[in-house]
Amino acid sequence: MVAATLSSRRTRIMIAIWIAVVLGALLALFLSAQNSAQFGRLQPWILLASALAVAIIIVLLARKIIQLIAAYRSGVPGSRLTVRTVLVFGALVALPLLTVYVFSLEFLNRGIDSWFRVEIKQGLNDAVVLSRSALELRMREHDERTQRFAATLATQTPGSALFALEEELRSSGASEIVLYGEHERIIGAASRVVADSLPQRPPTDLVRRVGGGASYVSLEPVGESQYLIRTAAPLPGAPMSTGDARYVVVIYDLPRQFAELTDAVQRSYSQYGDLAELREPLKYSFS
């Protein structure tokens, strides 16, 4: 009697533990489905809880089956009827559950696969390539215009060059144009914004590149979804000895809408890549 009571108590404890483990696994699965970062962190715990729940069920079923077999062999009255009843009800319950599980798992896997179709990935990749190509085209156009403007400045006198800066500022849509002489001395400048200080010192790589007789172009972030395109070109015929390079620097503001669209495409592509890495682990967790 005491042994039966202890066995019944252990069974109730194991059932309570099983319920707690299953609820914990479901809660973790719900939280991970809301956030891909949470999923990567909670996945080991979800798998561990699922394995523990399965182990508890197996132990409980094994104990009951062993008890039923022992009663059947001992000829306990009603044991044969109990065995037949368990087999019949087990078949009636297991077959529908297995059928529903298989179809649900197949439906779920197809649903997850539909999130990561090749067409979606290719479309996002094409969008990234298109945005980069458009950005590179705009940078190349500004670079070529700056080179042509530098060639124009080389044929003008210092006085007329200052007027040329203002004219180029209006016609090109640039935000700032600075003409530098030897030792990075500012010869002239034009800007759409009235500045309280002198233009910023040009980057070292810019000075080095134009000092070697080549043009320069770069994309620089200046804030949230805000970029500028900095171009520079040496004046043809200007002295190119160390410290004597003469060049013009032209800065263009990248349209905010263009910058926001570029950032949105890149962000979507990165998010898709993060989710694609969770594709198989997500299947394992739901199955």
Could you tell me if residue 149 is inside a domain? yes
Look up tokens 């144009």; give the residue.
177
Look up tokens 């080095």; give the residue.
208
| Longest CA–CA separation in the chain, Å | 119
Residue 54 confidence (pLDDT) = 79
Residue predicted with more confidence, 286 or 188: 188
Residue predicted with more confidence, 116 or 124: 124
Q: Which of 3-7, 97-101, 167-171, 232-236 has the lowest mean pLDDT?
A: 3-7
My answer on whether 75 and 97 are in the same domain is yes
Looking at residues 46-73, what average pLDDT do you find?
78
Angle of CA points 237, 205, 199, to nearest 5°: 80
My answer on whether 125 and 263 are in the same domain is yes
My answer on whether 82 and 157 are in the same domain is no
Q: Last residue of some domain: 59, 84, 118?
A: 118
Please count the structural domains in the chain: 2
Q: CA–CA separation, 166 vs 177, rounded Å? A: 8
pLDDT surpasses 60 at 141: yes
Q: Last residue of some domain: 99, 118, 137?
A: 118
Length of the chain: 287
Residue 149 confidence (pLDDT) = 94
Could you tell me if residue 14 is inside a domain? yes
Could you tell me if residue 58 is inside a domain? yes
Q: Last residue of some domain: 73, 103, 118?
A: 118
Q: What is the pLDDT of residues 86-120, one digit of tens each?
A: 777 777 777 777 777 676 667 666 666 666 665 66
Could you tell me if residue 285 is inside a domain? no
My answer on whether 97 and 152 are in the same domain is no
Shortest CA distance to 202 belongs to which of 186, 188, 190, 213? 186
Could you tell me if residue 92 is inside a domain? yes
pLDDT surpasses 70 at 81: yes
Residue 245 confidence (pLDDT) = 45
Could you tell me if residue 276 is inside a domain? no
Could you tell me if residue 274 is inside a domain? no
My answer on whether 12 and 91 are in the same domain is yes
My answer on whether 152 and 240 are in the same domain is yes
- Helix axis angle for 158-172 and 118-153, nearest 10°, is 150
Residue predicted with more confidence, 182 or 210: 210
Shortest CA distance to 71 belongs to which of 83, 85, 60? 83
My answer on whether 49 and 104 are in the same domain is yes
My answer on whether 259 and 192 are in the same domain is yes
Q: What is the pLDDT of residues 233-263, one digit of tens each?
A: 999 876 544 344 489 999 999 888 877 888 8
The CATH number that applies at residue 204 is 3.30.450.20
Residue 2 confidence (pLDDT) = 43
> Is residue 162 packed enough to be buried (19+ CB in 10 Å), middle (13-18) or exposed (0-12)?
middle
My answer on whether 172 and 235 are in the same domain is yes
My answer on whether 238 and 223 are in the same domain is yes
pTM of the model: 0.57
Average pLDDT, the chain: 77
My answer on whether 129 and 109 are in the same domain is no
- Domain range holding 176? 120-267
Could you tell me if residue 151 is inside a domain? yes
Q: CA–CA separation, 186 vs 249, rounded Å? A: 11
Residue predicted with more confidence, 158 or 202: 202
My answer on whether 114 and 180 are in the same domain is no
Residue 197 confidence (pLDDT) = 66
Q: Which of 71-80, 223-232, 237-246 has the lowest mean pLDDT?
A: 237-246
